[in-house]
């Protein structure tokens, strides 16, 4: 399983490389049920983001989610519960900056799990580069109602900058307030992936919304 190595010069752990530079349409969902609804529609990257539960209360759903994702060959990133992701061999883990101090980077690297990391500023991107993540999420790009955050939206121009600076080295994911029209605008920057919560799971017709987004991103 393990392609993680320790850099002989710095001693730093090198995260597992994400083999696909373009992670595509990337829904972020809060339940196993949403995975069951979206995966059959053709989603190839998805994040299970369950907040503030005891690990014992989420383990069963995480196991089922990992099994489902493997069956459909989907890249499933588990948010926060990195020990469970490692234990049950998820495709990947997604962590915020606040998680990086506590998470055991060596175990994550040795597990073979990919590691995506959220960033919201130049400083956070710089810090994240030091752990050589499997992908870097950039947010919020537009204003979001799904998470309370102190940062002002970065906008499309910042995404263009990040794509030019880092797009060849790391898969990049834009997140925050992204709907169909904004995804169309972001596509022009050359970014490989757009992540969204409300544009899929808070719409009236999630099937249509998902299909339209997948079609928009088909040639990326
Ligand atoms: N991180 C940056 S913005 C965001 C997260 C988790 C929320 C994205 O939700 P939405 O509904 O797509 O704006
Ligand atoms: Mg977190």
What digits encode the pLDDT tens for the residues 89-128? Answer: 999 999 999 999 999 999 999 999 999 999 999 999 999 9
Residue nearest to atom 3 of ligand 1 (CA): 176
* Complex-level ipTM beyond the 0.95 threshold: yes
**Residue 147, ligand 1, Cβ within 6 A:** yes
Cβ burial of 216 (10 Å; 0-12, 13-18, 19+) is middle
pLDDT over 90, % of the chain? 90
**Residue 73 in this model has a pLDDT that exceeds 60:** yes
Q: 197 in ligand 1 pocket by Cβ < 6 Å?
A: yes
Segment 52-63 mean pLDDT: 98
Model pLDDT, residue 9 = 56
**Which has the closest alpha carbon to 75: 112, 114, 47, 45?**
45
Task: Tell me which residue of 5, 48, 45, 47 sits closest to 22, measured CA to CA.
Answer: 45
Looking at the predicted structure, is the pLDDT value of residue 192 above 90? yes
Mutational test site, ligand 1, from 148, 175, 195, max ligand atoms within 8 Å of CB:
175
Express each pLDDT in 162-189 by its tens digit. 999 999 999 999 999 999 999 999 999 9
Q: So what's the pLDDT on residue 104?
A: 94
The three-class DSSP label of residue 166 is helix
Atom of ligand 1 nearest to the CA of 195: 12
Nearest ligand for residue 147 CA = 1
Neighbours of 112 (CB within 10 A): 16
> Relative to the alpha carbon of 95, which ligand is closest?
2
- Please name which of 192, 195, 207, 173 lies closest in space to residue 38, comparing C-alpha atoms: 207
In this structure, which residues have their CB less than 5 angstroms from ion ligand 2?
80, 96, 99
Report the C-alpha gap between 20 and 213 in whole angstroms: 19
pTM above 0.90, yes or no: yes
């Amino acid at each position: 399983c393990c392609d993680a190595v320790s850099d002989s010069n710095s001693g730093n752990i090198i995260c597992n490389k994400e083999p696909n530079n373009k992670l595509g349409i990337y829904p972020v969902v809060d339940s196993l049920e949403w995975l069951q609804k979206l995966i059959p529609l053709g989603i190839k990257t998805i994040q299970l983001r369950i907040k503030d539960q005891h690990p014992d209360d989420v383990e069963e759903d995480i196991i089922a989610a990992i099994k489902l994702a493997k069956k459909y060959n989907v890249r499933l990133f588990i948010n926060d519960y990195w020990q469970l992701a490692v234990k049950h061999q998820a495709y990947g883990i997604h962590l915020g900056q606040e998680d990086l101090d506590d998470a055991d980077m060596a175990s994550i690297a040795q597990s073979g799990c990919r590691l995506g990391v959220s960033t919201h500023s130049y400083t956070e991107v710089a810090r994240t580069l030091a752990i050589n993540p499997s992908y870097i999420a950039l947010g919020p790009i537009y204003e979001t109602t799904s998470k309370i955050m102190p940062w002002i939206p970065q906008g499309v121009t910042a995404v263009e900058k990040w794509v030019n600076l880092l797009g060849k080295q790391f898969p990049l994911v834009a997140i925050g307030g992204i709907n169909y029209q904004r995804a169309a605008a972001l596509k022009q920057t050359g970014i490989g992936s757009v992540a969204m919560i409300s544009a899929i799971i808070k719409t009236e017709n999630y099937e249509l919304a998902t299909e339209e987004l997948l079609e928009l991103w088909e040639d990326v």
